Chains A and B, each alone.
Chain A
Amino acid sequence: NAGVTQTPKFQVLKTGQSMTLQCAQDMNHNSMYWYRQDPGMGLRLIYYSASEGTTDKGEVPNGYNVSRLNKREFSLRLESAAPSQTSVYFCASSELRANEKLFFGSGTQLSVL
Protein backbone atom coordinates (compact mmCIF):
# COMPACT_ATOMS: atom_id res chain seq x y z
CA ASN A 1 0.00 0.00 0.00
CA ALA A 2 1.71 3.18 -1.20
CA GLY A 3 -0.53 5.73 0.57
CA VAL A 4 0.90 9.22 0.05
CA THR A 5 4.06 9.46 -2.03
CA GLN A 6 6.02 12.67 -2.22
CA THR A 7 9.22 13.42 -4.06
CA PRO A 8 12.00 14.29 -3.68
CA LYS A 9 13.01 13.34 -0.14
CA PHE A 10 15.88 15.82 -0.05
CA GLN A 11 16.68 18.90 -2.08
CA VAL A 12 19.21 21.71 -1.92
CA LEU A 13 18.50 24.90 -3.83
CA LYS A 14 20.26 28.18 -4.32
CA THR A 15 18.39 31.39 -3.59
CA GLY A 16 16.26 32.31 -6.57
CA GLN A 17 15.99 28.83 -8.03
CA SER A 18 12.62 27.23 -8.60
CA MET A 19 11.39 23.73 -7.98
CA THR A 20 8.25 21.66 -7.69
CA LEU A 21 7.47 19.15 -4.97
CA GLN A 22 5.34 16.32 -6.22
CA CYS A 23 2.70 14.48 -4.24
CA ALA A 24 0.37 11.65 -5.15
CA GLN A 25 -2.08 9.56 -3.13
CA ASP A 26 -3.71 6.29 -4.08
CA MET A 27 -6.50 6.25 -1.49
CA ASN A 28 -9.06 8.13 -3.59
CA HIS A 29 -9.11 10.96 -1.06
CA ASN A 30 -10.82 14.20 -1.94
CA SER A 31 -8.72 16.50 0.25
CA MET A 32 -5.00 17.12 -0.02
CA TYR A 33 -2.68 19.40 1.92
CA TRP A 34 0.80 20.88 1.98
CA TYR A 35 2.39 21.66 5.35
CA ARG A 36 5.77 22.94 6.36
CA GLN A 37 7.43 21.93 9.63
CA ASP A 38 9.92 24.19 11.36
CA PRO A 39 11.50 23.73 14.81
CA GLY A 40 9.28 25.16 17.52
CA MET A 41 6.55 26.04 15.03
CA GLY A 42 4.78 22.73 14.56
CA LEU A 43 3.11 22.04 11.23
CA ARG A 44 1.75 25.04 9.40
CA LEU A 45 -0.62 24.77 6.48
CA ILE A 46 0.61 26.24 3.22
CA TYR A 47 -2.21 25.33 0.86
CA TYR A 48 -4.93 22.78 0.69
CA SER A 49 -7.32 21.38 -1.86
CA ALA A 50 -10.69 20.27 -0.55
CA SER A 51 -11.52 18.54 -3.81
CA GLU A 52 -10.30 18.20 -7.37
CA GLY A 53 -10.35 21.58 -9.07
CA THR A 54 -10.19 23.69 -5.92
CA THR A 55 -7.31 25.12 -3.93
CA ASP A 56 -7.21 27.45 -0.94
CA LYS A 57 -4.55 29.31 0.97
CA GLY A 58 -3.55 28.19 4.38
CA GLU A 59 -1.65 29.98 7.10
CA VAL A 60 1.64 30.56 5.24
CA PRO A 61 1.01 30.68 1.45
CA ASN A 62 3.40 33.47 0.46
CA GLY A 63 6.11 32.33 -1.93
CA TYR A 64 4.29 29.15 -2.94
CA ASN A 65 1.89 28.02 -5.61
CA VAL A 66 -0.02 24.76 -5.92
CA SER A 67 -1.71 22.73 -8.59
CA ARG A 68 -4.30 20.03 -8.08
CA LEU A 69 -3.55 18.19 -11.27
CA ASN A 70 -6.22 15.55 -10.76
CA LYS A 71 -7.74 13.72 -7.82
CA ARG A 72 -4.49 11.87 -7.10
CA GLU A 73 -1.87 14.59 -7.49
CA PHE A 74 -1.20 17.87 -5.70
CA SER A 75 2.05 19.69 -6.40
CA LEU A 76 3.75 22.56 -4.57
CA ARG A 77 5.92 25.02 -6.46
CA LEU A 78 8.51 27.45 -5.22
CA GLU A 79 9.00 30.01 -7.97
CA SER A 80 11.99 31.82 -6.46
CA ALA A 81 13.33 30.03 -3.42
CA ALA A 82 14.44 32.01 -0.37
CA PRO A 83 16.43 30.89 2.68
CA SER A 84 13.26 31.37 4.78
CA GLN A 85 11.76 28.48 2.86
CA THR A 86 14.29 26.05 4.28
CA SER A 87 12.04 23.55 6.00
CA VAL A 88 10.60 20.06 5.98
CA TYR A 89 7.57 19.84 3.73
CA PHE A 90 4.80 17.32 4.15
CA CYS A 91 2.05 16.40 1.78
CA ALA A 92 -1.04 14.84 3.30
CA SER A 93 -4.45 13.64 2.27
CA SER A 94 -7.73 12.87 3.96
CA GLU A 95 -11.28 11.89 3.27
CA LEU A 96 -14.10 14.31 3.90
CA ARG A 97 -15.48 12.29 6.80
CA ALA A 98 -14.98 14.40 9.91
CA ASN A 99 -13.36 11.67 11.97
CA GLU A 100 -10.86 10.74 9.29
CA LYS A 101 -7.23 11.28 10.08
CA LEU A 102 -4.58 12.88 7.91
CA PHE A 103 -2.39 10.48 5.97
CA PHE A 104 1.09 11.88 5.53
CA GLY A 105 3.85 11.46 3.01
CA SER A 106 7.40 10.87 4.19
CA GLY A 107 8.41 14.52 3.92
CA THR A 108 10.90 16.55 1.90
CA GLN A 109 13.90 18.17 3.56
CA LEU A 110 14.53 21.37 1.60
CA SER A 111 17.53 23.59 2.14
CA VAL A 112 17.82 26.95 0.39
CA LEU A 113 21.30 28.41 0.46
Chain B
Amino acid sequence: AQTVTQSQPEMSVQEAETVTLSCTYDTSESDYYLFWYKQPPSRQMILVIRQEAYKQQNATENRFSVNFQKAAKSFSLKISDSQLGDAAMYFCAYRSANQFYFGTGTSLTVIP
Protein backbone atom coordinates (compact mmCIF):
# COMPACT_ATOMS: atom_id res chain seq x y z
CA ALA B 1 0.00 0.00 0.00
CA GLN B 2 1.09 3.53 -0.64
CA THR B 3 2.24 5.56 2.35
CA VAL B 4 2.28 9.30 2.83
CA THR B 5 4.58 10.85 5.42
CA GLN B 6 4.38 14.31 6.91
CA SER B 7 7.35 14.59 9.24
CA GLN B 8 6.42 17.95 10.77
CA PRO B 9 3.55 17.56 13.26
CA GLU B 10 3.61 21.29 14.01
CA MET B 11 4.95 24.37 12.27
CA SER B 12 4.72 28.08 12.94
CA VAL B 13 5.23 31.14 10.78
CA GLN B 14 5.17 34.88 11.27
CA GLU B 15 2.38 36.68 9.49
CA ALA B 16 3.50 37.80 5.98
CA GLU B 17 6.39 35.34 5.98
CA THR B 18 6.81 32.15 3.94
CA VAL B 19 6.57 28.62 5.25
CA THR B 20 7.10 25.23 3.63
CA LEU B 21 5.33 22.06 4.72
CA SER B 22 6.94 18.76 3.82
CA CYS B 23 5.40 15.62 2.42
CA THR B 24 6.94 12.44 1.08
CA TYR B 25 5.24 9.37 -0.31
CA ASP B 26 6.09 5.88 -1.29
CA THR B 27 4.78 4.33 -4.47
CA SER B 28 5.81 2.09 -7.35
CA GLU B 29 3.29 3.64 -9.71
CA SER B 30 4.12 6.21 -12.35
CA ASP B 31 0.69 7.79 -12.79
CA TYR B 32 -0.93 9.34 -9.74
CA TYR B 33 -2.16 12.61 -8.28
CA LEU B 34 -1.18 14.54 -5.20
CA PHE B 35 -3.23 16.95 -3.13
CA TRP B 36 -2.91 19.31 -0.22
CA TYR B 37 -5.99 19.80 1.95
CA LYS B 38 -6.50 22.43 4.62
CA GLN B 39 -8.61 21.75 7.71
CA PRO B 40 -9.37 24.86 9.79
CA PRO B 41 -10.91 24.62 13.27
CA SER B 42 -14.34 24.38 11.62
CA ARG B 43 -13.30 20.82 10.66
CA GLN B 44 -14.16 21.44 7.01
CA MET B 45 -11.75 19.83 4.52
CA ILE B 46 -10.73 22.32 1.84
CA LEU B 47 -8.65 21.53 -1.23
CA VAL B 48 -5.65 23.85 -1.44
CA ILE B 49 -3.82 22.57 -4.49
CA ARG B 50 -3.38 19.47 -6.66
CA GLN B 51 -0.55 18.13 -8.81
CA GLU B 52 -0.55 15.57 -11.59
CA ALA B 53 2.50 13.31 -11.46
CA TYR B 54 3.00 13.41 -15.22
CA LYS B 55 3.37 17.20 -15.17
CA GLN B 56 6.84 18.54 -14.53
CA GLN B 57 5.60 22.04 -13.87
CA ASN B 58 4.81 22.75 -10.24
CA ALA B 59 1.23 23.71 -9.48
CA THR B 60 0.44 27.18 -8.15
CA GLU B 61 -2.73 28.65 -6.67
CA ASN B 62 -2.31 32.28 -5.65
CA ARG B 63 -0.10 32.27 -2.50
CA PHE B 64 0.16 28.48 -2.48
CA SER B 65 2.65 26.55 -4.57
CA VAL B 66 4.20 23.12 -4.52
CA ASN B 67 7.68 21.78 -5.04
CA PHE B 68 7.11 18.42 -6.69
CA GLN B 69 10.18 16.20 -6.95
CA LYS B 70 8.99 12.99 -8.58
CA ALA B 71 12.25 11.10 -8.37
CA ALA B 72 12.59 11.93 -4.69
CA LYS B 73 8.86 11.28 -4.12
CA SER B 74 8.53 14.62 -2.42
CA PHE B 75 5.61 17.05 -2.55
CA SER B 76 6.06 20.10 -0.35
CA LEU B 77 3.64 23.00 0.04
CA LYS B 78 4.89 26.58 0.15
CA ILE B 79 2.66 29.28 1.59
CA SER B 80 3.81 32.79 0.77
CA ASP B 81 2.75 35.97 2.55
CA SER B 82 1.16 33.93 5.34
CA GLN B 83 -2.13 35.21 6.71
CA LEU B 84 -3.91 34.55 9.99
CA GLY B 85 -6.54 32.63 8.07
CA ASP B 86 -3.91 30.13 6.95
CA ALA B 87 -3.77 28.70 10.47
CA ALA B 88 -5.06 25.16 10.15
CA MET B 89 -4.14 21.50 9.91
CA TYR B 90 -2.72 20.63 6.49
CA PHE B 91 -2.94 17.16 5.02
CA CYS B 92 -1.00 15.79 2.10
CA ALA B 93 -2.84 13.15 0.07
CA TYR B 94 -1.99 10.72 -2.72
CA ARG B 95 -4.53 9.36 -5.18
CA SER B 96 -4.14 6.20 -7.17
CA ALA B 97 -7.18 4.90 -9.06
CA ASN B 98 -10.03 4.93 -6.50
CA GLN B 99 -7.89 5.13 -3.40
CA PHE B 100 -6.79 8.19 -1.48
CA TYR B 101 -4.01 7.98 1.10
CA PHE B 102 -3.44 10.71 3.65
CA GLY B 103 -0.52 11.82 5.77
CA THR B 104 -0.84 12.45 9.49
CA GLY B 105 -1.06 16.20 9.06
CA THR B 106 0.90 19.33 9.99
CA SER B 107 -0.63 21.86 12.33
CA LEU B 108 0.28 25.37 11.18
CA THR B 109 0.22 28.31 13.57
CA VAL B 110 0.42 31.84 12.20
CA ILE B 111 1.93 34.35 14.61
CA PRO B 112 0.66 37.92 14.31
Contacts and interface: CB of A to CB of B under 8 A. Distances in A.
* Co-assembled chains A and B: yes
A33 B5 CA distance: 21
B31 interface: yes
Given A48-B98, A101-B50, A41 B104 contact: yes
A106 B43 contact: yes
Interface in B92-107: 93, 95, 97-100, 102-105
A92 B104 CA distance: 18
Contacts of A107: 43-44
- Interface size class, chain B: 20 to 34
Interface residues of A, number: 24
Query: A35, A50, A98: which has the most chain B beta carbons within 10 Å?
Result: A98
A33 B6 CA distance: 22
B43 A42 contact: no
Given A88-B43, A104-B44, A106-B43, A98 B95 contact: yes
